[in-house]
Amino acid sequence: MLEYLWLVPALPLAGFFALFVTEGKLPDKIVAVIGAGSVGLAALVALGAGMEFVQSGEASYAQSLWTWMAVGNFTPSITLYLDPLSLVMSGVITGVGFLIHLFATGYMWKDHQEPEGYSRFFAYMNLFVFAMLMLVLGDNLLVLFLGWEGVGLCSYLLIGFYHRDPENGYAARKAFVVTRVGDTLMAIGLFLLFRELGSLDIQTALGDAGQLDAGMATAIGLLLLGGAVGKSAQVPLQTWLPDAMAGPTPVSALIHAATMVTAGVYLIARMKGIYDLAPVAQLAVAIVGLVTLLISSFTALTQTDIKRILAYSTMSQIGYMFMALGVGAWSAGIFHLMTHAFFKALLFLASGSVILALHHEQDIFKMGGLWRKLPVPFASMLIGSIALVAVPLTSGFYSKDAILLTAWEHGTGPWFWAGGVLAAFMTALYTTRMMVVAFLGETKTEPHDASRINMWGPLVVLAVLSIGGGWMTFSVLDDLLGAIDHIPHIHPAALVTVVLPLLGIVLGYFVFSGRMNVNSLVESSFGDALRRFWQSGWAFDWVYYRVFVKPFLWVARVNKGDVVDLAFRITAAVTRGFHHVGALTQTGRLRWYAANMAIGLIVVLLIVASV
């Protein structure tokens, strides 16, 4: 199967192409078959190729397709590169991706806003899967960049899928532009890397990375981090992700939870060789992760929109992954990437079921009491939540625990660990809040569950993976990626790590079910200000709008007429002015003409006399 590796990205691409050229004229059922089927087939091929790869025992497998371009010594080739990292990634992308596609065939069926957009939706989704696969399979940073930009594009297209609402368009453009800022940094990183090492081939570059001096390695590491930060919605380029929830919920599940947003994690993991040479850059990765983790988990606590809660949660979970990479627990980071893909996809899909059943109601305070009426979504949400909170034995527990314990040992002291544990506590708090408010209590909106097998089937599979994904895959990944954690679990730090989230659940239950009154705290002026500060996402949007957007708009407004043109207009006006003055001399009077001739004669004679 390995020789058919190219089929893995090619199948979704073919699906996209088929849907693109038929211009939405195919019957929806065939669209569904093509859309989900192409990804499903890709998953099968990936599975087959992966098994063969694991059995072969080789460290990597490369399939060269063609040389993209050849200019002097710049010869990036389109080569697919399979190693444990990309294998895990492609497995997640095709596997989880297929489940989400399957769910979407039901979710998007006879959609209320875009009933004619069914084919367009799956075209974009397939294109996304293709791009994401190119991102992780590309053996060259330029190919990676192709996928990188491709997923950004699809993200833009899908966030703005309901394009008739200008707000969605705004959210889509914001996502694209903010991540482009990161992409720009990344592109500069590529320029620098090429200048220093003469190749963008990842393996070649990493092999030659030893030639880099420390400063250069740090620069490259920081620039690539810039790219990763943008794509993975980390501070300071995180502001686009909550708005990106404007897209259909399967999109949020696939792109803004399971796959695309983890591309930054993949990039840093892939370029580990550079970060090994640049401790400063690596520390920056960890700091970015920690800061994002804290900021977003506090923010999640104050959101009311179920998808925004999940979005902030995603940011914080990716913060864990960044922190993992930063503190050196890179296999644990990848492990968390995978488990997070399971449980976060589950959470999003389940919330999508809820939203659909409530006729697109997303405010958790307008839900309530749903656990009886929507049992499958509720069960799925619950399972996803406990995995998110990292209750022991769930998949999230395995990976998060490994990260935090590595952080404990980090050279700078236990600060990363402490921050991570605090965030874990907060995670428990906001997750509990979400579950309690939305599913317990009294019913505020009457749901109509219309989900069928194609919708709850994926939920079930993902639920199983969320629970068991940790221990099922732990040993395999431990093998493939290298040792995931080193610390025995009987350890004070380990104990705190395990217990604190549980405390969070208990506290959250009491507070949000109203059994414990904290109104005096929340309603105090300080509490209120803090709440609004958190709710706004720590005012990043507010600041960015004033620092970047507003000045740009101002310039655009005042300079619409192009100030440079003024120079030419003035020249033209002056020339015209000369004409008018000159025309005045042409009075038509004979004697005036004669007088001028006389003056001319005198001037000529004066010139002659003076030379």
Residues of this chain, 535-554, that bind another protein according to CB under 8 A: 552
Q: Which residue lies nearer to another protein by CB, 110 or 560?
A: 560
For residues 52 and 283, give the distance between their C-alpha atoms in angstroms, rounded to a whole number.
Answer: 37
150 binds another protein (CB under 8 A): yes
Helix (H) or strand (E) holding 74: none
The label of the residue with tokens 């893909």 reads 341
The Cα 342–Cα 257 span in angstroms is 9
- Which range binds another protein by CB under 8 A, 259-267, 472-480, 516-524, 583-591? 583-591
* Cβ-based neighbours of 606, under 8 Å, separated by 6 or more: none
Strand 61-67 relative to strand 77-82, pairing: antiparallel
Residue 531 as a binder of another protein (CB under 8 A): the answer is no
Least gap, CB of 162 to another protein (angstroms): 10
Query: Residue 221 Cβ, how far from another protein at the closest point, in Å?
Result: 17
Options 145, 298, 320, 416; binder of another protein; rule CB under 8 A: 145
Q: Where on the phi/psi map is residue 83: left (φ > 0), alpha (ψ -120 to 50), or beta?
A: beta
Contacts with another protein in 552-571 (CB under 8 A)? 552, 555-557, 559-560, 562, 564-565, 567-568
Using the rule CB under 8 A, which residue among 33, 47, 163, 203 binds another protein?
163
The single residue among 110, 112, 515, 591 that binds another protein, judged by CB under 8 A, is 591
Residue choice 85, 88, 99, 146 for contact with another protein (CB under 8 A): 146
The residue (of 545 and 568) whose beta carbon lies closer to another protein is: 568
Q: In this complex, which beta carbon is closest to another protein, that of residue 173 or of residue 531?
A: 173
The one among 22, 60, 63, 184 contacting another protein by CB under 8 A: 184
Residue whose entry in the numeric block shows the structure tokens 């503190």: 327
Q: Which of 35, 40, 97, 160 binds another protein (CB under 8 A)?
A: 160
Stretch that binds another protein, among 253-261, 262-270, 382-390, 597-605 (CB under 8 A): 597-605
In the stretch 5-24, what mask flags binding to another protein with x, by CB under 8 A? ------------------xx
Place of tokens 């600060």: 415
Stretch that binds another protein, among 140-148, 273-281, 314-322, 476-484 (CB under 8 A): 140-148
25 binds another protein (CB under 8 A): no
Report, in Å, the least distance between residue 339 CB and another protein.
31
Binds another protein by CB under 8 A, chosen from 110, 112, 195, 515: 195
Give the shortest CB-69-to-another protein separation in angstroms: 5
| Minimum gap (Å) between residue 183 Cβ and another protein | 7
CB of 134 to another protein, least distance (A): 9
For residues 56 to 95, the per-residue mask of contacts with another protein, x marking binding by CB under 8 A and - elsewhere, is ----------xxxxxxx-x---------------------
Stretch 89-128: interaction string toward another protein, x if CB under 8 A: ----------------------------------------
User: DSSP labels for 289-341?
Assistant: HHHHHHHHHHHHTT--BHHHHHHHHHHHHHHHHHHHHHHT-HHHHHHHHHHHH
Q: How far is the CB of 611 from another protein (least distance, A)?
A: 4
Is the distance from CB of 250 to CB of 100 less than 8 angstroms? yes
Q: Which is nearer to another protein, 78 or 294 (CB)?
A: 78
Sign of CA dihedral 184, 186, 189, 195: negative
The SS3 call for residue 62 is strand
Is 41 in contact with 102 (CB distance < 8 Å)?
no
The reply to whether 164 sits near another protein by the rule CB under 8 A is yes
112 vs 589 by CB, closer to another protein: 589
Q: Is 477 in contact with 88 (CB distance < 8 Å)? A: yes
- What's the closest the beta carbon of residue 68 comes to another protein, in angstroms? 7
The nearest distance, CB 77 to another protein, in angstroms, is 11
Residues 519 and 247: their CA atoms lie apart, in Å, by: 34
Label residues 385-420 b or e (16+ Cβ within 10 Å = b): bbbbbbbeebbbbbbbbbbbbbbbbbeeeeebbbbb
- Our CB check for another protein shows the closer of 471 and 568 to be 568
The only residue of 88, 187, 269, 511 in contact with another protein, by rule CB under 8 A: 187
| Measured distance CA(218)–CA(561) in Å, rounded | 43
Closest approach, Cβ 165 to another protein, in A, equals 7
| Residue nearer to another protein on the CB measure, 529 or 598 | 598
Scan residues 424-453 and list those touching another protein (CB under 8 A): none
Interface with another protein by CB under 8 A: which range of 162-170, 257-265, 270-278, 521-529?
162-170
- In eight-state DSSP terms, residue 259 is S
Distance CA 177, CA 172 (A): 9
Closest alpha carbon to 307 in 232, 268, 263, 360: 360
- Tally of residues, the chain: 611
Amino acid identity at 250 = P
CA dihedral sign of residues 507, 445, 379, 351: negative
Q: Contact 282/305 with Cβ under 8 angstroms?
A: no
Angstrom CA distances, 536 to 119, 265, 299, 585, stand at 36, 26, 8, 71
In angstroms, what is the minimal distance from the CB of 216 to another protein? 12
Q: Which two tokens stand for residue 582?
A: 């000159």
Alpha carbons 60 and 604: distance in angstroms, whole number:
91
Residue 97 and residue 154 in contact, taking contact as beta carbons nearer than 8 Å:
no
How far apart (Å, rounded) are the C-alpha atoms in residues 202 and 209? 10
For residue 585, state whether it binds another protein (rule: CB under 8 A). yes
* Cβ at position 246, least distance to another protein in Å: 13
Q: Which one of 192, 222, 472, 494 is in contact with another protein (CB under 8 A)?
A: 192
